[in-house]
Amino acid sequence: MSHDKIVIYHNPACSKSRETLQLLEANQCAPEIVEYLEEPPTPVELKRIIGLLGVSARDLLRTTEAVYRDAELDDDSLGDDEIIEAICEYPALLQRPIVVFGSKAVIGRPPTRVLELIA
């Protein structure tokens, strides 16, 4: 096992986030837990996560959140930087959970995706 730390961007109120954390712990992983609603990631952190996930900033948006509509984030003309700013301002928009391990990351939906990182 590598010595890179595992970081989970976690929302304790989310069942998928709790399941993902339990899976990590069941596999002898002790991740650093970032409760991103309390400590939102910075734009620099988000850009790094997006790069590790290999997705666009838009792919990180939870489109079911009321703030998604309120902030008019369904506007396709918005660029990554504007979406990243919105996620930093309204962290509830961030897909959850996100697990980062070294140079890889996954969104834990379904939670078993985290096993790809630690296998």
Residue 111 phi/psi, 5-degree rounding, is -55, -30
Q: Is 88 a catalytic residue?
A: no
d(CA 85, CA 95): 15
Of 6, 9, 14, 85, catalytic: 14
| Catalytic site positions | 14
